[in-house]
Structure 1
Amino acid sequence: MQLERIGPYRLVRELGAGGMGTVYLGLDERNGSKESAVKVLPASMAREPGFVARFTREIDAMRTVHGPNIVELRDAGEDAGTWYYAMEFVDGETLTERLVREKRLPWREVIDIAIQICKALKAAHNAGVIHRDLKPSNLLLGKDGVVKLTDFGVAQVFASGKLTATGGVIGTVEYMSPEQAQGKRATKQSDIYALGAVMYVMLTGRPPFTGKTALDIAQKHKYGQFDSPRRIVPEIPHWLDEIVCNCLQKKPEDRYPDAYVLQLRLQEIPKKLDLAQGTGSGSGQTTSGGRTFDFDGAAGDDVTQGDAVLNSDAPVGGTLMRDLIKGHLDRKTNMTPVERLLDNTWLLAGVLVLLVAVGLWWLQSRQKSPEQLFARGEELMQRPAGPAWEEARREAFEPLLALDRETWEPQVAPYLDQLAIYDLRKEFLSVRSLRADAPPKSDIERFLRRAWDQRRRGDLSEARTTLNALKTMAIGTPQSTSLLPVIDELLATIGPAEKEIEEHGRALLRLAVERARAYDAQELKPQARTIWQSIVELYGDDQSAASAVAEARAALSTGDEQTPSAKETSAAPDSRPEL
């Protein structure tokens, strides 16, 4: 059943239908039945919040964008649960209908339509709106020759925070930019790509990419190559062919920066063709001896040879070649003495040779002799270990060995040994380098890491045992000799730590043993038993607390028997744990 009325509009006939509603020719009875195009969101869609959000977003975009090539929004509202908006009625047809009827359009008309689309995109982009769905069915061709851009249903409004999220693939696949096909955020260059695809289909009668499925076409947009329009329609000027190909570049930064720049490039093409036809100096065609020569084939069928021949009474005399020669001679005549001097090819070549020679001399003067390199390395190695040593290896010793290893290796070797020890120390004594998430590169690193972890946990005796065993294996092994200072340095860090633990670290254990003994002396067996059990649980695997653990286990094993009193134990000091 066709809708007859909505709001103040009487609906005359259906103009078209799409995924977001139906468009009717409506008469606004408030102002003398003025014609409007009324888009209606069906009630079934109005019950879905997502459709309503998209419909209202389209209304917001149309309210934001204004221009002679943008369809004007006149009214919007809701009538009994049905959403609608009214826009100006364009008496004409869509570009799709025109292409279905004529297959493809003359290139001059394509330029005219594309320039008007550029103006529409410039107005939208200046208002902060990306159309994202530019295609022939969204372009209205009025009978007066004016092109109007419509359907902002998937437009991206910069100011909107909730309706501009990336990650969704939005647009019509034949005219979709590669970044949209990947689900990325659309930009001004995305609309430029779509305009390139629209120009392509107007010129050739087919989109740049086709396929059996939408996914196939999207993949071609991302990775495929298209035939240039001029290969399909040879009479297209090469300037227009280049513009379309630039619009269809895969990377957004390789396309035109905005619609205004593209508009200027399009407007230049007729002027270039006019110059090529002989109405001014330019690139294209010229004549000689009654014959016409087409330099680059740019004019094609639009520039005939008869058009290119200049008659004696032509309004602007001269051809391209004559203008070029005349201009060159005039420039020569008006040159100053300095300009004539600089115009001498031999002089310029001599200056170039001189500059190259000076550059080579400067480079050679900066190069150091082997003796200077070695002296520089020695000076750097006298500084504290760190960046200076690394610079000595990189800037002095390695270049020196590359020049003459046989001569300099005996003198450089002691410093390289110091650097090897420095590297090992930096690698194995740094907590960062021994982090657990980095796999060990060798057995040496694995055992050093084990000793480091044991030291960090407080298992100092185990760490000393590991390091002494590793040192025993390294002694007498030429490949591991440089490792010995690193092991000794790690061992040196364990002694003070053990002493500190001996003095301060066992306070908790000592107090716990004394409390347990006191409870035993006072016949408070449950309290004493609890402490003895805690000592076993906490220090059972700690070799340095073995004596205290043995006493705790003995006390637990006696059950209710009397443990040694504090007085008895004080008389037998050898029975106290070694704390």
Structure 2
Amino acid sequence: MLPDRIGNYIIERQLGSGGMGNVYLGRDDATGAFAAIKELPASLAREEGFVARFHREIEVLRSLNHPQIVRLYGCGTDRDTHYYAMEYVEGETLTQRLKREKRIPWREVVSLGILICGALKAAHDIGVIHRDLKPSNLLLTPDGKVKLTDFGVAQVFASGKLTATGGVIGTAEYMSPEQAQGARSSRRSDLYSLGSVLYVMLVGKPPFQGSSAAEILNKHRFGQFDKPKSFLPELPSLVDEIVCQLLEKDPSKRPPDAYVLGKKLQEIQRRVDFQIEAAQGTYHSRLEGGETTSRQPAGSPSSDFPPIELGPTFVRDLVRAEIDLQNRQSLFSRILNNTYVLVILFALVTGGGVYLFLNTGIEPEEQFEIAKDLLEGPPGPAWFRARDQYLIPLLQSDPVRWRDQVEPYLQKIEVYQIESTILPSRRRDRVDPPASEPERLLRLARAQLDAGDVPAAKKTFESLRVLLEGNGQYQVLKTIVNNQIEALERQQVSRAERDAFIQTSFERAEKFHTSGQLDNARQIWQGIITLYQDDPTATQWVEQAQSLLDNSR
């Protein structure tokens, strides 16, 4: 039943519905302004998890301010109904358009992809992963823009509020392989989902389909999709390749982040336009009196042109044709038609083309921004790529201008590199002996941490920090110790929330046990054991669950 009003808003009509409630078009009783009102019904509000998820979505929207993301106006509670008001976007969802048109022209797909990248970058920059990017969550405006909405299952990875693993969250057709197996999502998980969205816009169907969600998830993890170009032979190869790269099973093979992907899509637009212009190139014939005429080969519109491979013969023929046609009667023309001269000219053109291909459109400021974005991601190969491909070249090109901006990032990478070398990992079979006493103590603290003795590890780290204070010989080790202490403090906040969650689960199990629903209680106890048996800091919870489970038999 349509409510008359929610909060200060008079409800006009229903816009949509989903697992987290309904969305209505509301009109502000005071200003007359329209807004989209999302409610969490009272039936769901009785579940603490749904309320927490609903308010997390509100906090995510509150922290985002980007033209490609719907804006939050306000929130509240009305007669036990939690709600929030957000920007009302006139137009339709991408799902609605695809139902009507089946496919979208590739140029528009690339343009929409660039806009979506902007929205994802804004979210990722503040530590938010959407996790449910799909056509129904993309609103298309009448002026050709797009708005990202529905952060209801977003993962706030910078806050440590979610555990590293969990249930499968998202929509099957657009879910990344790592989400499909219940692993933690990352920025590249959203990029995989974006690849699926680009695919469905181009082809008219998702890359994987099946009779059940389980079948589709299995295909995301192990299946092989048909390339978009197999359905659309006229699709430029560059577009086909970037979609296939986004749909790589291995996240490390996808673009590093939304910023880099957006730049690649912009570059694809420019390169395809160049290829088409080269294929249609204007040929000039010099007439008597110095006049020129132009003629273009007949053909289909530019958007229908297939990609042109710019091989060596193509470049040579263009150079020769232009020289012949413009300088037919000149001595200079005869010189240029010499084979050796053409070989040299061809080498210059090819070399210059390669240089432009590698450096097209990347200004120093853009290189620095790309490096910053790579370094905002998790430590790993991307950090070294940021250093080697962007930061060091910037420092070499203009040390006066870039030293103060680049050196802090280089130090950050150095700390990570040393940290990964001196701190032993349980996955490494061979570890070199410590090079100093502080390094030995640092490894001792890490071993205590790996054994689950968090208090002892923290005490060792803090004591070591005191000893290193003012000792200029161990500045890098001091930074590593500080990083470890900060990480422990963040984990303690996360652990408190984990413990509260487990405690709530025990209380639910006790209610089931008291009311005679023993099977439900056993499922909860077994779930706690399964989820936390490999976590040394949760040993007491696992032992308690195991004891209750054993006594119930």
Corresponding residue number in structure 1 for 2:373 = none
| Residue identity opposite 1:14 in structure 2 | Q
1:205–1:255 distance in 2 versus 1, CA, 3 Å: same
Q: C-alpha distance in 2, partners of 1:173/1:201?
A: 14
- The letter of the residue matching 1:126 is D
> For residues 329 and 15 of structure 1, what CA distance do their matches in structure 2 show?
69
Counterpart position of 2:224: 225
* Structure 1 unmatched ranges of 5 or more: 309-318, 340-579
- Preserved CA contact (<8 Å) 1:156 1:164: no
Partner of 1:343: none
Matched residue SS, 2:83? strand
- Determine the structure 1 residue equivalent to 2:79: 80
Which residue is 2:210 aligned to?
Answer: 211
1:412-466 CA distances to partner (integer Å, 9 max, x unpaired)?
xxxxxxxxxxxxxxxxxxxxxxxxxxxxxxxxxxxxxxxxxxxxxxxxxxxxxxx
* Offset at residue 24 of structure 1 (A): 0.4
User: How far apart in 2 are the matches of 1:21 and 1:74?
Assistant: 18
Post-superposition shift, 1:334? Answer: 13
Is 1:286–1:321's contact at 8 Å kept on the other side of the alignment? Answer: no
Q: 1:241 matched to which residue of 2? A: 240
Q: Offset of 1:165 from its aligned partner?
A: 4.3
Cα distance in 1, alignment partners of residues 36 and 91 from structure 2: 12
Q: Deviations for 1:285-321, whole angstroms, at most 9, x for unmatched residues?
A: 7799999799xx9x9962289x99xxxxxxxxxx844
Q: 1:81 to 1:126 in 2, by over 3 A?
A: same
- Alignment correspondent of 1:5: 5
Report the 3-state secondary structure (helix = DSSP H, G, I; strand = E; otherwise coil) of the residue aligned with 2:3: coil
Q: Give the structure 2 partner of residue 117 of structure 1.
A: 116
Q: Which position in structure 2 is the counterpart of 1:131?
A: 130
Give the residue type in structure 1 aligned to 2:198: M
Matched AA of 1:23: V
Structure 2 vs 1, CA of residues 277 and 174 (structure 1 numbering), >3 Å: closer, same or farther?
same
The residue type paired with residue 28 of structure 1 is: D
Please, what TM-score do these two structures have when normalized by structure 2? 0.53
CA distance in structure 1 between the aligned counterparts of 2:65 and 2:191, rounded to whole angstroms: 19
CA 1:324–1:9 in structure 2 vs 1: closer, same or farther (change >3 Å)?
same
Q: Please state whether the residue corresponding to 2:233 is helix, strand or coil.
A: coil
Kindly provide the amino acid, as one letter, of the partner of residue 26 in structure 1.
G
Contact 1:235 1:300 in 2 (8 A): no
Residue aligning to 1:488: none
Correspondence for 1:556: none
Structure 2 partner of 1:262:
261
Give unmatched runs, 5+ long, in structure 2: 286-294, 324-335, 352-553
Q: In angstroms, what is the RMSD of aligned CA positions?
A: 3.4
Mapped pair 1:303 → 2:305? yes
Shift of 1:256: 0.4
Amino acid in structure 1 at the alignment position of 2:239: L
Contact 2:316 2:346 in 1 (8 A): no
Secondary structure, aligned partner of 1:78: strand
* Maintained 8 Å contact 1:236/1:300: no
Aligned residue runs from structure 1 range 356-505, under 5 A: none
Residue 192 of structure 1 corresponds to 191
In the TM superposition, what are the counterparts of 1:147-162 in structure 2 within 5 Å?
A: 147-162=146-161
- 1:293/1:322 Cα in 2 relative to 1: closer, same or farther (>3 Å)? farther
**8 Å contact kept, 2:26–2:34:** yes
The alpha-carbon deviation at position 53 of structure 1 amounts to 0.8
Q: Which string of whole-angstrom CA distances, capped at 9 and with x for unpartnered residues, describes residues 299-349 of structure 1?
A: 9962289x99xxxxxxxxxx844455689958947999xx9xxxxxxxxxx
Structure 2 residue 32 is matched with structure 1 residue 33: yes
> What's the counterpart of residue 531 of structure 1?
none
Secondary structure at the counterpart of residue 27 of structure 1: strand
> For the Cα contact (< 8 Å) 2:202–2:228, is it kept in 1?
yes
Amino acid at match of 1:167: G
Q: 2:304 corresponds to which letter in structure 1?
A: D
CA contact (8 A) 2:236 2:306 kept: no
Give distance in 2, aligned partners of 1:61 and 1:164: 18
Deviations 1:505-562 (A, max 9, x none): xxxxxxxxxxxxxxxxxxxxxxxxxxxxxxxxxxxxxxxxxxxxxxxxxxxxxxxxxx
Post-superposition Cα deviations, 1:24-69, rounded to whole Å, max 9, x if no partner, equal: 0011123x21000000111111111011011011111111222110
- The TM-score normalised by the length of structure 1 is 0.51
Q: For 1:3, what is the secondary structure of its paired residue?
A: coil
Instruction: Measure the CA separation in 2 of the matches of 1:243 and 1:285.
Output: 25
Cα distance in 1 for partners of 2:68, 2:101 equals 23
> Are 1:96 and 2:95 matched, yes or no?
yes
Task: List structure 1 runs of 4+ shifted beyond 2 angstroms.
Answer: 158-165, 284-294, 319-336
Query: How many angstroms apart in 2 are the aligned matches of 1:273 and 1:126?
Result: 30
SS at match of 1:36: strand
Q: Provide the rounded CA distance (Å) in 2 between the counterparts of 1:320 and 1:165.
A: 52
Partner of 2:60: 61
Moved more, 188-197 or 59-68: 59-68
SS of match in other structure, 2:17: strand
CA contact (8 A) 2:131 2:169 kept: yes
| Larger of the two Rg values belongs to structure | 1
- Give secondary structure in 1 for the equivalent of 2:165: coil
Partner residue in 2 for 1:70: 69
- The letter of the residue matching 1:24 is Y
C-alpha separation between the residues in 2 aligned to 1:254 and 1:334? 34
Rounded to whole Å, the distance in 1 between the matches of 2:318 and 2:110 is 29
Specify the SS of the correspondent of 1:272.
helix
The residue number in structure 1 matching 2:20 is 20
Hey, what does 1:421 align to over in structure 2? none
Q: Distance in 2 between matches of 1:291 and 1:85?
A: 57
Q: CA separation in 2, counterparts of 1:335 and 1:172? A: 51
Instruction: Give the deviation of 1:80 after TM superposition.
Output: 1.9
In the TM superposition, residue 231 of structure 1 has moved relative to its aligned partner by: 0.1
Letter in 2 for 1:15: L
8 Å contact kept, 1:70–1:150: yes
* Equivalent-residue separation in structure 1 for 2:255 and 2:274 (angstroms): 25
Q: 1:24 to 1:255 in 2, by over 3 A?
A: same
The answer to whether the Cα contact below 8 Å between 2:276 and 2:302 also exists between their aligned partners in 1 is no
2:179 matches 1:180: yes
Sequence identity of aligned pairs in percent? 56
- Output the CA distance in 2 between the equivalents of 1:164 and 1:9: 37
Q: Is the 8 A contact 1:116 1:147 kept in 2?
A: yes
Q: Secondary structure at the match of 1:17?
A: strand
Verify: 1:143 aligned to 2:145, yes or no.
no
Q: Tell me if the contact between 1:234 and 1:300 (Cα under 8 Å) persists in the aligned partners.
A: no
Counterpart residue number, 2:251: 252
Letter in structure 2 aligned against 1:11: I
Letter matched to residue 195 of structure 1: L
Secondary structure, in 3 states, of the residue corresponding to 1:24? strand
**1:235: how far off?**
1.4
1: CA distance, partners of 2:345 / 2:145: 51
Looking at structure 1, the residues matched to 253 and 154 of structure 2 have their Cα atoms a distance apart, in angstroms, of 23
Partner secondary structure for residue 185 of structure 2: coil
Number of equivalences = 319
Judge conservation of contact 1:73–1:87 (CA < 8 Å) in 2. Answer: yes
